[in-house]
Structure 1
């Protein structure tokens, strides 16, 4: 029979852990006072037996008992002298072995003295004394030695075998019955010992398990990243880890266990030197949690800037567990995320989404009483500055401008970066046009002041569009659109200006929007057409080329000027489709003309940006079968300057394929002379603006002459545009170097049927000439 209970099958019984084995061995050597009292009683019984009988054998037994008792006592005293010492497993085994031998020998001697008494004397008194003393010791075997079954079994066998033999060999029938009764008594002692040993080991194992759990809990508690504490229903701290005290800023030598929430508040105040009211917040909240008995979570920012999240978990009987987590980084990240979500990272102004939500919330709150002015402002020529000086300087310019705009705001005013170089400003309560205009003019003046950035003195202007609530409505999105179109109108009337939204402007914008829809529909349905205007060789008076010009005949409005719908097409993203259509139509038409007649097609800057121009042109030539040397590609100075490096590379690719390159509107850009040598040009077209005052101003003629001679010296053909009268042609003849001319004097743009008819008539009139000729 082994242990009972859940430890019966514990594998640790096969080899007791050191902690358990130590308990077993120390229990054998414990309570020396009762042991010595028992030894004295048994030795005295042996003395009486010898003294009364006078038998020599009993004298020797008495002496042996004294020696064994003394040796056993000495062993126990020596062991207990170092009872606090830490013993190894081997030390404990030796101690148990010595105890087992000495105790077994001593108890065996008790059985021997009983055997000798029965053998050498018939004195019933002596028999009673020694057997009673022996049985008293037998009864104590289980109570003292139950921790070791080996000791119990050795002592039980050592004492009972001699005693039972003596009763059986030298006694009468009654002695034999007494010997028989000893057998169940011994079994009972063994059973009691086993149960007691099981109880001891079970308690020891349980204590060991509890200690292991406690040690693990303490390690986990002290190594936890969170602060943790347990308090009772009175607010007294029962368990606290170091992190908890650290998060509260407590002194390291202060032990919070056993202290109250009030003491926590006082100690925290003393440690952090913060106002008491700051530190009582957490304590008061925890007290409320204790009373309410509900799980609670809240955050609190300490005076030292640390933000902690406090979680209170209630337990039974009003106690609770407090968990503190340092969420400073998380809170900081959340603030940064909100900052990124709501504010422009460059200027740190509210962004479009956040600003819109704030203004809309204010309008909703004020309802019909909402009154404010809305300003839509952007920077003039910002793109040119950004492209020429670089984006880092452009970013610094935006920051400087945003600070200047912000400095102009009156109290209650707000501003946001709407996107790019656009800013939106709202001024609550400012609704009089005079006040709005005064603010806008101040804003423009402030922005227009020179600013020095990285050694560059930059002057940038601003244009402003204005709408007013409630005069123009109270829907923020609509007011924003109104200010936007007002800004567009301000820019169209000259930079550095302001413009108020009006119903007439709204009607104009409405018509423009309708026209945009109609243009999209016209492109989709193929309603655009291509007309052709001739270019004349001034020496031979022959047509050498036609410039392809797109035309749009609106079903209600008639022909819409290209100056109206081409910019619109660029704004709404249709220019690439229109450009592809013109290229394919013009090249297909040119194939039907005489072989020495070329066609010129304009390519805008947006076409260079939005499409692969080389592939588009190659596709058109392949579809039409037109030789590359019969196609001229005209580009404007603005297209070149938008991205000189990329555009130059594209033009070189086209030129290498045999396509001729012409620079249109020469002289109207930023710095014409500086880039002529970088481009693979064949021809330049002098803008019509050079002809406007040549009759009245000789300087205009001198300037025109200088430009044309300079182009000729560079090996470029020169075309002058906009010749409408013979007088203009006469003034030019012989005074400027011009190869070709274009203008109403030689013919307006005409449809393809008219071009074919003209070429047939002129060819017939000129006999077998290779080109149609225009009569002088």
Structure 2
């Protein structure tokens, strides 16, 4: 590569030119040697020509000294490449002038004197100067070329005109000297150029490395095989409180840490632990470690072994991350509301307790279901319900003490594990006592709330404990308690498992029956108050099991709700009811019940309209009944669905009216056409005047709202006579007129009712 001035970078070019002006001492020595030599020659020859050359040396020397001084004072940072080139030319002119004076002196001596001293003195001082050209002027190709030519050409010319062929031959040998000098200077210049460029690249890389190192978000420590610090960045000093990093090089890491972090520790045990972890990192035992220096500083270290020995430690502040992880772990393990362990962590704690047991023995589990939570949520809001759960959790922990672990499974379910460490405790009695003590009044928002618990317990040997089984058994016992009534305590018995298996099989069979459409439908007519006609029939589902016979509707409907297939039954009932209704007289409608699950989204709208369209049934002949239980959770959403159905011509009825807590408000907020008063208001109305007055009040209010009234559960003639006397209903549904019958029987019942009515009218007229 040729390091020409036009090719090299400007900063390198400037460094070359600076080297020309660098060594002034050699300039003084050279000028003194030149003048003294020429004065000696003058003394030998008495030729004033050499006096003139000496004066010329002085003039050029003075000019160059002034030039060097100006160069030193100049602000080179602002120089352009052209300005640098001008200074190079100024130097070259001065240097070439000196070389030319030397060359002229030599050529003159060869041409006019046959004196060995004169020739030798002039040639010697000239060639001595030329030897220094490479060392002093390598930075400028032009300076080397002009100086060698200015010095050597006059010698060659003098030898040519001297007439001595030997001198001519000797002088011609100066040409290889000139070329060699230029080649040497070029080699030195190129070598230095490559080194300057390499040095600049290294400086740039070192600068970039230093910048990157000190702007890292991570701390970095590079240690030699003796655990001494070779490299440390600014972030490391900040994290470890080590002060000025320039003073830490070659310091032992252990000493530095003992000094730098002594104020960061909370107690004296931490430094030893951290020192042990660092030793494991540096000796390669571990490659990663998290160290807690204080409550406010947790660092994570990773170590990488160096091939030549030593280690590189990179670390970062993970305080926020560790705190977040701990918080997330706590949230995963513990319920945020009650502070009790969740189901999975509760199981882990149980396993830990069992692992600490040295000998097997009886252990106990108790699952508690808060019987009154839904009522609190409905009446006082979910915030009050949450506060009740917190109060219950606190009391259970206080009652359990150290005898049992308390966990919050889900919603209103709590679990307790009795490890029975003492082994002399009657577990069943202890659990019954705790259940009894927990069932008490709880203060919530300044109000005392009575709370009872349904409880399921299981007692088994720790050696036989299977974590996946205990809760199933406890749940079976809990289910048994709830089926017996409120606040009951039941211990798991093996026959419960058999009933559970039987119920699971029943679920399988029901799913198959629903999928095959093998349910049956019967209809209970709704007669006019006087029994003169049938206006509507309620569709009722029936399931006859191939092995167990008829399964009560309340049993298989409840199972269907548990399985989430009750909406499929509703779809089946709507389709069948619409199809059967088209076979009845046109004035008779059909009524179908909707469950809570059906009203959770608007998919039921399409189901209804498709069934009506497919059967060719007038929409007004289809009545849809909703219970108050299906309205509790999402009244606004249910209202929107019912409004859309009513807009399509469907008739809407509220079933079992009066059994909920907010019945009256539903009449005002929902698009209702019919009110079906629950059978509980009809029972004993002949004997209970207060109950009958309540019934008449509901009827009066409903009539004022222009609602049609249906009374369910009318079973006796006395009840019917009283209702007729006071005109308490538009329609009557009950055994007093008809039990549920098959679809084919409806037409016949309608004819009989009309015939009986005509006969009664004729008898009255007669």
Interval of TM-score (by shorter of Structure 1 and Structure 2): 0.7 to 0.9
Distance 2:216 2:347 in 1: 45
1:37 paired to 2:32 = no
Q: Deviations over 1:542-585 (max 9, x none)?
A: 44443332222233333222233232233222322223333333
Map of 1:122 onto structure 2:
114
Matched, 1:207 2:199: yes
Equivalence for 1:574: 565
Segments of structure 1 that go 5 or more residues without pairing to the other structure are 1-7
| Contact persistence 2:281–2:288 (CA under 8 A) | no
Note closer, same or farther for the CA distance 1:417–1:291 as it changes in structure 2 (3 Å cut).
closer
Cross-structure match for 2:223: 231
Corresponding residue of 1:428: 419
Matched, 1:172 2:164: yes
Alignment of 1:291-440 (within 5 A): 291=283, 296-303=287-294, 305-359=296-350, 369=360, 371-386=362-377, 391=382, 394-395=385-386, 397-411=388-402, 413-429=404-420, 432-440=427-435
Give the conservation status (yes or no) of the 8 Å contact 1:290–1:318.
no
Question: Residue in 2 aligned with 1:593?
Answer: 584
> Counterpart of 2:523 in 1: which secondary structure?
strand
Q: What is the aligned-residue RMSD (CA, Å)?
A: 3.8
**Partner residue in 1 for 2:141:** 149
Q: Which of the numbers 494, 503, 509 marks the counterpart of 2:494?
A: 503
Alpha-carbon displacement from aligned partner over 1:255-277 (angstroms, at most 9, x marks no partner): 32242213311331355366566
Moved more, 179-188 or 648-657: 648-657
Are positions 1:552 and 2:543 aligned together? yes
Confirm or deny: 8 A CA contact 1:36 1:73 kept in the other structure. Answer: no
CA distance in 2 between partners of 1:700 and 1:85 (Å):
113
Structure 2 residue matching 1:449: 3-state secondary structure:
strand
Which residue does 2:99 correspond to in 1? 107
Cα pair distance change 1:17/1:493, threshold 3 Å: same
Shift of 1:153: 1.6
Residue aligning to 1:181: 173
Structure 2: gaps of 5 or more residues: none
1:473–1:479 CA contact under 8 A, matched in 2? no
What is aligned with 2:44?
52
Offset of residue 43 of structure 1: 2.1
Assess if the C-alpha contact under 8 Å between 2:363 and 2:462 holds in 1.
no
Contact 2:234–2:245 (Cα < 8 Å) also in 1: no
Distance in 1, Cα, partners of 2:174 & 2:639: 122
- C-alpha deviation, 1:192, in angstroms: 2.3
Aligned: 1:620 with 2:611: yes
CA 1:747–1:86: 2 relative to 1, 3 Å: closer
Aligned partner (choices 13, 16, 22) of residue 21 of structure 1: 13
Q: Is the 8 A contact 1:272 1:304 kept in 2?
A: no
Measured in 1, the distance between the counterparts of 2:656 and 2:177 equals 130
Cα distance, 1:379 vs structure 2: 3.0
Partner of 2:553: 562
Which moved further from structure 2: 249-258 or 102-111? 249-258
Query: CA deviation digits over 1:51-99, x for unaligned, max 9?
Result: 12222323323333344345445655x3697699868456654543333
Structure 1's 80 and 317: CA in aligned 2 closer, same or farther, altered over 3 A? farther
Deviations 1:629-661 (A, max 9, x none): 444433333334454444444445555555444
Q: Secondary structure at the match of 2:364?
A: strand
Q: CA deviation at 1:436?
A: 0.9
| Cα distance in structure 2, aligned partners of 1:554 and 1:327 | 64
Residue 434 of structure 1 deviates from its aligned partner by 0.5
For residues 729 and 751 of structure 2, what CA distance do their matches in structure 1 show? Answer: 27
Q: Which residue of 1 aligns with 2:442?
A: 449
- The alignment partner of 1:262 has SS state of helix
Kindly report which structure 2 residues correspond to 1:509-520, keeping only aligned pairs within 5 A, or say none: 509-520=500-511
Q: 1:262 aligns with which of 243, 254, 266?
A: 254
- Count of matched residue positions in the alignment of Structure 1 and Structure 2: 758
Superposition TM-score, scaled by structure 1 size = 0.86
Which among 525, 535, 538 is matched to residue 534 of structure 1? Answer: 525
Give 1:449 deviation, angstroms. 0.6
In 1, are the aligned partners of 2:530 and 2:724 still within 8 Å (CA)?
A: no
